[in-house]
Structure 1
Amino acid sequence: MASRALTEPQMRGLLAKRLRFHVVVSLGIATFYKFAVAEPRKKAYADFYRNYDSVKDFEKMRRAGIFQSAK
């Protein structure tokens, strides 16, 4: 009586099964990243540049002596 200690490996459909799993996981991670990182970052940039005055910032840096060519 021969008993099998090891089961035979699944060969047929293995790639499709693993691809389905990895596609679902990667889409979940991409969705999480979009709403947890990208959207708040875009909102923070929009809030910053809504009231940003580049001329006023330049004058402040010029008075502080950051620029060598603009006196």
Structure 2
Amino acid sequence: MASSALAKPQPRGLLAKHLRFHIVGAFIVSLSVAAFCKFAVAEPRKKAHTDFYRNYDSMKTFEEMRKAGIFQSTK
């Protein structure tokens, strides 16, 4: 009577059942991490580069470095 109360284990198809669940979970987690990296890291970095180079004057920077003596071949 006690053995009839316990469910019989189902070893057949158990691996496929668990793999389906874990593959879907891994796919969802990887998509969320990729979206987080894109919107939390890549987009702000692109915006910072764009903002920096919008008003960047390379000749002015070169002249400042030349006057500071960084370049030895130019006077």
Fold agreement, TM-score > 0.5: yes
**Alignment size in residue pairs:** 69
Identity %: 56
CA shift for structure 1 position 70:
1.4
Structure 2: gaps (5+ residues)? none
Q: Which has the higher helix share?
A: 2
Matches within 5 A, 1:1-40: 10-40=14-44
* Superposition CA RMSD, Å: 2.1
Larger Rg: 2
CA shift for structure 1 position 8:
6.1
CA distance in 2, matches of 1:8, 1:70: 80
Output one character per residue of 1:6-53: Cα deviation in whole Å (capped at 9) or x when no partner.
Answer: x66632233332111111001001111111111111111000000000
Bigger drift between 42-51 and 7-16 goes to 7-16
What is the TM-score with the length of structure 1 in the denominator? 0.80
